[in-house]
Amino acid sequence: MIEKIKKSVFLKNVLTLMTGTAVAQVLNIVVAPILSRLYDPEAFGIFAVYTSIVSIFIVIIGLRYELAIVLPKKQEEAVNLLFLSIIVVVIMTMLSTVILFLFKDYLEEIFHIQKFNEFIWWIPISIFFFGVCNSLNYWSTRQKGFKRLSISQIFRSITVVTTQVTGGLAKIGSIGLVAGQAIGNTVATAVLGKQIWKDDGHVLKSSFNIKKIREVAHTYSEFPKYSAPQALVNSISQNIAPFILSAYFSPTVVGHYSLSLRLLQLPVILIGESVRRVFYQRIAEIHNKGDNLRKYLIKFTILLGLLVIAPTIVIFLFGPQIFAFALGEKWYEGGRYARWMSLWLAIDFMNIPAFSTAQVLGLQKQLLYYETLFLVFRATSLFLGVQYFDALGAIILYSLVGIIFNLLLILGTINFSSTLLKR
């Protein structure tokens, strides 16, 4: 059994990615009690709104062409998809910058954020470098360059942590958190880009072709048509809570929510992001060979469920006490939010294989419908929560909707993969 595990290419790739992710997340865990004392909940609330704005832009910054990089059988197609996605990132960054500056006064007013102009400049920087880095990530995933992905993650985390702690010590407020994220993305892109050019530069130069870029843009047009809107709806759905909570309550409430989410996602990111990338590459490979997807999907969904069940129970039972002890008494309320959010995030974690499989199977249109309905129910739950309950009530309703919809996607994808076996 041990020899079988050692020889597992999938496990080896996951562990390689997890090495970088583990170092990054250990740094985040170690620094969390420091940041929670250097910055108050309001600063984290402002940072959460900034992060949500960035998150909405970055999912469509490459129009999802980066996802297609892993799929072609021919290397030439993949290379030109990489160049296409980076070109799209440049164009979309310029458009995003114009949109931001047209609506900056409105955003400052609706989210109750003073001095919004101080950090709006960081948003285009963040989305550009994240977009380029994401394209490079998928190229590395295709090339099975998981070691260089791991290294870039480590550099990013060190830069983010160093900048944010320095900003906290300098008492510059939420701008320290914002700058840390933006500079971290920049450094990660530079590190990964340099290594890719060293390893694959000859392939990139020999395969680059303007005509081919136009061809792959048409061949993989399903991604901007369906995957990009689906991803945009999903991102709005994922980030709608900070927006609505900020509009109805204070940045302090958003701060409690955002730090809770950030800490709960640390262990999920440690394993989940590594599994997501390797699983996506592996499931595409299995699909191209015509092998049994359903068996593979069920196996890893159950495995992820077993990994997450124990910590979820602990957080649900003792969340407020853990937060107060680890972060300080002022974060007790965040622990109350965390106990309910942990249930939703546990099922979301189990959803990783199903979501990746749906993308590989070309279900972008169905995912768009799913995400749109998910967004409607999430927004409704939050509006009902803030109207009839308090912030905690809104978060409970929001989490319950997340649980239900993630379960629906898991069951729906398994059912669809079953129909493929019968054909």
DSSP 8-state class, residue 223: I
Which one, of 344, 234, 363, 371, lies nearest residue 297 by Cα?
Answer: 363
Question: What's the chain's Rg over C-alpha atoms?
Answer: 21
Q: Which two tokens stand for residue 165?
A: 């702690």
Query: Crossing angle for the helix pair 251-289 and 122-142, nearest 10 degrees?
Result: 20
Which one, of 230, 229, 232, 265, lies nearest residue 48 by Cα?
Answer: 265
Domain ranges of the chain: 19-220, 242-423
DSSP 8-state class, residue 349: H
Q: Global pTM?
A: 0.75
How far apart CA 107 and CA 231 sit, in angstroms, is 22
How far apart CA 158 and CA 184 sit, in angstroms, is 8
How far apart CA 167 and CA 161 sit, in angstroms, is 10
Half-sphere exposure of 382 (CA within 13 A, CB side): 19
Full pLDDT tens readout for the chain, 423 residues: 444 544 466 566 666 666 666 777 788 888 989 998 999 888 888 888 889 889 999 989 999 999 999 889 899 999 999 999 999 999 999 999 998 888 887 777 777 666 667 778 899 999 999 999 999 999 998 988 888 988 998 999 999 999 999 999 999 988 999 999 999 999 999 999 999 999 999 999 999 999 999 999 999 998 998 888 878 887 888 888 888 888 888 888 999 998 899 888 877 766 766 676 677 777 777 766 666 778 888 888 888 889 889 999 999 999 999 999 988 888 999 999 999 999 999 999 888 888 878 877 777 778 888 888 998 999 999 999 999 899 999 999 999 999 999 999 999 888 887 665 555
How far apart CA 181 and CA 62 sit, in angstroms, is 20
Q: Which two tokens stand for residue 159?
A: 């830069």
How far apart CA 217 and CA 359 sit, in angstroms, is 18
Contact 119, 177 (CB under 8 A): no
